[in-house]
């Protein structure tokens, strides 16, 4: 037995009058804001600014349920035409309103940039950090007309190059032979074979998937080249000091934080390479073969877990950590906020969606009874805890902690339950499987994903040097970035160079360098967990304060709750040390 979520709290079907009321409210409020404030923001007092923000915020509040209902309905059934039509309609309305209200941030940013003392006024105290971010972005804003042109241009420009990559890949079929039977696989189906226990199947999948990408390499290179060159053109016009600066602004972090973190990661590549060589030894080779990067170990945790058993494990684990965490997990499970049923048309993967108006969340995953599924549920439940705590304490514009901090509660939950599963493992093989999977996942997130950041840096450096991003040039830059982290620990298959063709992170418009936030967030959590193991209960109170703050404070101010300094290499090394602790424990079992 699994669970299906109840979305009627958000909207009572696709004919609910709430949908039209929500859309009409948003359109009318946008018109009201334009008529009342356009060209007049320069004369606003701090109280006037607060009033304007309150009015604009009500658009998000009043459309929140309908937007979430549409998105979740599509995720639950990607063939639901009513849901798809509603999502499309809402996208059109939201884009129109965004363009219409472009003037607000531009005019407000200009006012604040020239009068930063406004930020100290009591009238805007609860939106101070929100306004500080506007000031930061304002330094790189263009005129209202230019901003609108960029929005319009992107619809048929960089957005379409991104869609070309994703749609070309999603429509591609890969002919793969398994046990003398050849059939066509979609990309997601084929990728699932890369973790198959049979090495021959993994080798066949690597060969056919990546040579299939190679056949279309000119198309992928064309898309990537245009995404990167479009970004360079826009960022230079905006005056960004580096191509990464926009991502720092979006992630609510600073360059010196990134530099300290990335330096520590590069200083510890020897640990990663040692792990890869140990994995090779476990699998029976001297060096890790390219097709074995995601291979499972020979030891297994074969327990079959029912949905009721899984949810009880999650409740127990979170209650053991803190009563409030346990109460939130119980509410999520008992009040139908989780969709875990496997069904045709359901979106793959797992996610948690924050419900602001209801101070709660919704989780989607497909539960098939494995311990891996339980770990996924523990991870997503961490997101739910973050959602509950941040929505209870913050207005809607302050609930999001930003890319680099968004995984704090979820990855902490993963660590918490990894330790719990280890203590409760039924035998030595299960314990080794749990620990190996955790280490393998952490190593990949930190070092493999860091290599993608280095690759992306290489792409922009090459373009700045006047080089042409041909497929061969991209291949050269790919290996150059990857080798920094993997060294010679892996015997790569030549065709694996075309990983750059399928990684969507390289192609996302408006979110360049969308790789390092995963590394940043993971190491941040590992450092937190390091402290939790030392402090116990005192840490829990600080952790709840941190999560409750949502996005109302900067990353440095949030870290200060624990006494952390995000510009300190020692802080980031503490995160690495947590992986070393686990790795040493695993080595002692072998």
| Residues paired with 351 in a beta bridge | 364
- CATH (domain of 143): 1.20.140
pLDDT at position 126: 93
Write down the mean pLDDT value for the chain. Answer: 93
Mean pLDDT value of segment 359-384: 94
Query: Is residue 169 over pLDDT 90?
Result: no
Q: pLDDT tens across 400-441, in order?
A: 887 788 889 999 999 999 999 999 888 899 899 999 999 999
In this prediction, what percent of the chain has a pLDDT beyond 90? Answer: 78
- Alpha-carbon distance of 495 to 497, in angstroms, equals 5
Q: pLDDT tens across 42-89, in order?
A: 999 999 999 999 999 999 999 999 999 999 999 999 889 999 999 999
353 and 336 in a single domain? The answer is: yes
**Number of compact structural domains in the chain:** 3
pLDDT at position 402: 79
259 and 324 in a single domain? The answer is: no
Q: pLDDT tens across 294-319, in order?
A: 999 888 888 899 999 999 999 999 99
pLDDT at position 187: 84
35 and 136 in a single domain? The answer is: yes
Q: Which helix (H) or strand (E) holds 178?
A: strand 174-178
Task: For tokens 């970035």, name the residue.
Answer: 481
Task: Output the CA–CA distances (angstroms, integers) from residue 147 to 42, 151, 238, in the order listed.
Answer: 19, 6, 10
Parallel, antiparallel or unpaired: strands 360-364 and 338-339: parallel
The answer to whether the beta carbons of residues 547 and 386 sit under 8 Å apart is: yes
578 is a domain residue: no
- Alpha-carbon distance of 227 to 398, in angstroms, equals 30
- DSSP per residue over 275-331, as a string? HHHHHHHHHT-SSEEGGGTTPPPS--------HHHHHHHHHHHHHHH-HHHHHHHHH
278 is a domain residue: no
Task: For tokens 């750059």, name the residue.
Answer: 500
Residue partners of 549: CB distance under 8 A and separation at least 6: 390, 393, 394, 401, 558, 561
Mean pLDDT value of segment 254-272: 96
Confidence band of 203 (pLDDT split at 50, 70, 90) = very high
279 is a domain residue: no
Of 100, 124, 153, the residue that ends a domain is 153
Q: To 10 degrees, the CA torsion angle through 352, 353, 355, 360?
A: 0
407 and 451 in a single domain? The answer is: no
Query: Is residue 346 over pLDDT 80?
Result: yes
> Mean pLDDT lowest for which of 70-79, 210-219, 243-252, 574-583?
243-252
- Alpha-carbon distance of 253 to 555, in angstroms, equals 6
Tokens of 258: 């990134």
181 is a domain residue: yes
446 and 523 in a single domain? The answer is: no
Q: Which helix (H) or strand (E) holds 112?
A: helix 102-114
pLDDT at position 82: 95
Tokens of 547: 């999560």
135 and 31 in a single domain? The answer is: yes
pLDDT at position 514: 84
43 and 139 in a single domain? The answer is: yes
149 and 246 in a single domain? The answer is: no
Tokens of 329: 């997990």
Of 153, 168, 197, the residue that ends a domain is 153
Hey, is 3 helix, strand or coil?
Answer: coil
- Alpha-carbon distance of 492 to 216, in angstroms, equals 20
pLDDT at position 257: 96
8 is a domain residue: no
203 and 145 in a single domain? The answer is: no
38 and 148 in a single domain? The answer is: yes
219 is a domain residue: yes
322 and 417 in a single domain? The answer is: yes
- Alpha-carbon distance of 586 to 567, in angstroms, equals 31
pLDDT at position 186: 87
- Edge-to-edge strands, sheet with 351-355: 338-339, 360-364, 351-355
Q: pLDDT tens across 502-528, in order?
A: 888 888 887 788 889 889 999 999 999
Domain region containing 63: 17-153
- Alpha-carbon distance of 590 to 582, in angstroms, equals 13
The answer to whether the beta carbons of residues 415 and 525 sit under 8 Å apart is: yes
pLDDT at position 508: 85
């Amino acid at each position: 037995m699994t669970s299906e979520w109840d979305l009627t709290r958000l909207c009572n079907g696709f004919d609910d009058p709430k949908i039209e009321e929500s859309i009409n409210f948003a359109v009318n409020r946008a018109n009201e804001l334009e008529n009342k404030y356009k060209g007049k923001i320069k004369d606003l007092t701090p109280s006037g600014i607060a009033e304007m923000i309150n009015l604009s915020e009500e658009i998000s509040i009043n459309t929140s349920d309908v937007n979430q209902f549409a998105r979740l309905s599509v995720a639950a059934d990607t063939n639901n035409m009513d849901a798809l039509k509603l999502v499309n309609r809402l996208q059109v309305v939201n884009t129109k309103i965004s363009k219409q209200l472009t003037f607000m941030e531009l005019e407000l940013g200009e006012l604040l940039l020239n009068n930063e003392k406004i930020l100290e006024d009591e009238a805007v105290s609860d939106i101070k950090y929100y306004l500080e971010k506007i000031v930061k972005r304002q330094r790189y804003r263009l005129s209202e007309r230019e901003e609108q042109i960029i929005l319009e241009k992107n619809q048929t420009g960089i957005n379409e190059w991104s869609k070309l990559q994703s749609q070309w890949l999603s429509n591609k079929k890969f002919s793969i032979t398994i046990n003398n039977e050849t059939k066509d696989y979609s990309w997601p189906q084929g990728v699932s074979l890369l973790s198959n226990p049979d090495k021959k199947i993994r080798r066949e999948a690597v060969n056919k998937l990546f040579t299939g990408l190679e056949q279309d390499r000119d198309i992928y290179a064309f898309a990537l080249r245009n995404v990167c060159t479009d970004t360079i053109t826009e960022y230079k016009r905006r005056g960004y000091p580096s191509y990464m600066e926009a991502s720092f602004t979006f992630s609510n972090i600073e360059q010196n934080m990134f530099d300290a973190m990335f330096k520590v990661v590069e200083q510890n590549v020897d640990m990663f390479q040692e792990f890869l060589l140990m994995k090779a030894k476990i699998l029976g080779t001297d060096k890790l073969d390219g097709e074995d990067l995601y291979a499972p170990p020979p030891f297994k945790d074969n327990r079959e877990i029912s949905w009721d058993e899984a949810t009880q494990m999650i409740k127990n684990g979170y209650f053991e950590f803190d009563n409030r965490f346990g109460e939130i997990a119980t509410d999520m499970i008992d009040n139908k906020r989780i969709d875990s049923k496997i069904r045709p048309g359901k979106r793959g993967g797992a996610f948690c969606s924050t419900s602001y108006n209801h101070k709660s969340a919704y989780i989607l995953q497909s539960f098939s009874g494995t311990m891996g599924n339980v770990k996924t549920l523990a991870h997503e439940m961490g997101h739910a805890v973050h959602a509950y705590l941040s929505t209870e304490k913050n207005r809607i514009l302050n609930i999001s902690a930003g890319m680099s901090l968004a995984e704090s509660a979820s990855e902490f939950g993963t660590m918490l339950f990894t330790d719990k599963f280890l203590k409760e493992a039924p035998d030595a093989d299960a314990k080794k499987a749990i620990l190996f999977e955790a280490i393998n996942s952490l190593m990949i997130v930190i070092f493999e994903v860091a290599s993608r950041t280095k690759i992306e840096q290489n792409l922009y450096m090459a373009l700045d040097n006047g080089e042409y991003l041909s497929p061969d040039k991209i291949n050269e830059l790919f290996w150059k970035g990857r080798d920094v982290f993997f060294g010679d620990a892996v015997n790569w298959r030549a065709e694996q160079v075309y990983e750059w063709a399928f990684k969507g992170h390289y192609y996302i418009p408006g979110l360049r360098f969308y790789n390092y936030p995963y590394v940043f967030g993971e190491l941040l959590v590992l450092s937190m967990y390091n402290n939790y193991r030392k402090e116990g209960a005192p840490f829990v109170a600080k952790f709840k304060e941190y999560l409750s703050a949502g996005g109302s404070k900067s990353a440095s101010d949030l870290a200060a709750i624990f006494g952390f300094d995000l510009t300190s290499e020692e802080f980031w090394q503490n995160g690495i040390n947590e992986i070393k602790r686990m790795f040493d424990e695993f080595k002692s079992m072998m």
